[in-house]
Amino acid sequence: MIPLTVKSRKKPTNLKNVYAGIIQVEKLASLGKLSATVAHELNNPLAGILNYSRLIIKKLKKIQNENEYEDIIKYLTLIAEESERCGGIVKDLLLFSHRGDEQYLYANLAEIITKSEMLINHHLEINNIRLIKEIPAEPVIVNGNPQKIQQVILSLLINAIEAMNGGGDIRVKVEIIDDLIYIRVMDQGCGIAEKDLPHIFEPFYSTKEAVRGTGLGLSVVYGIIHGHAGNVEVEKTSPNGTTILITLPRVK
C-alpha cells in the first residue's frame, strides 16, 4: 500500500505531465494544418535556388569576359539568400514543434507575431485573407516561454481563418496600458453561438467538425496564458466577427 503522502506528491506531477502532453497534441495538430503552408513557403525559395543555379551553369559554359563574373556573383548571392530563407523557415518550424521546457525568457512580442504570420502566410493567401498588424513602434517585451506564446498566436489565427469563408481581414492589435499588455485578435468570421460561449475554453469542446479540430485548441490557449499570469476571453462576438482578448503582464 502506497502512503497517502506519496500519492499526494505524485498527483501534481502526473497532472503536469498530462497537461504537457495535451499542449504537445494541440501543437502537432497545428503543425498538420500548417504543413501545406510550410511546403509552399519552402517551394518558392527552392525554385529560386534551382533557377539561379541553372543560370550559373549557362554563364559558366559561355563565359567570355570578366563582366560575366559579376552576374555569377549576383546569382550566387541570391542562392545564399534563398537558402538562408529555407533554413529560417525550417528552424522556426522545428522550434515550434519542440516540446521545450518551462524556462521563461524576455521575448519581443512583435517578433513572435511575425514568425507566426510567416508560418500561416500561404494559409492566408489561399483563403483571400489579409492580416493587419497594429503593434507599437517600441519593443513590447513579455516574460515567458516564446514557443508557447507563439502557439497561442498561431492557434487564434488558425481559428480566425477557419471562421472566415469569404475572405476578409484579421487584425492583431497590441496595446500597452499601465502594467498590462493587451493583445486582440479580431476576425470577420461567423461569430460564436451563444450556447457555445460558456464552453469554448473547455478541453475537447469544439464547434468545428470532428475532422477539423481536436477540441483542445482554446483550452490550451487558456492554460498557456494563465500559466503566464495572464487572461484570455471572448471580448465580443457577432455574426460579423469575433474578438479574442489576451492580457499579459508588462515587462518594464
| Domains (range + CATH), the chain | 5-96 (1.10.287), 103-249 (3.30.565.10)
Q: What is the mean pLDDT of residues 28-33?
A: 55
H helix runs in the chain, sequence order: 4-61, 67-97, 109-126, 146-163, 217-227
Question: Is residue 7 scored above 60 in pLDDT?
Answer: no
Which amino acid would we find at residue 36?
A
What pLDDT score does 211 carry? 35
User: How much is the CA Rg of the chain, to the nearest whole Å?
Assistant: 22
In this predicted structure, what is the pLDDT of residue 4? Answer: 46
N-term to C-term CA, the chain:
52
Whether 23 and 148 have beta carbons less than 8 Å apart is answered as yes
The residue type of 35 is S
Task: Look at residues 81, 55, 78 and name the one whose alpha carbon lies nearest to residue 68.
Answer: 55
pLDDT of residue 252: 75
Three-state DSSP class for residue 208: coil
Whole-model pTM above 0.85? no
Higher pLDDT, 173 or 123: 173
- Would you state the cell numbers that stand for residue 93, as one nine-digit string? 518550424
Confidence tier at 14 by pLDDT (50, 70, 90): low
- Residue 233, pLDDT above cutoff 60: yes
Q: What is the mean pLDDT of the chain?
A: 77
Check whether 11 has a pLDDT greater than 60: no
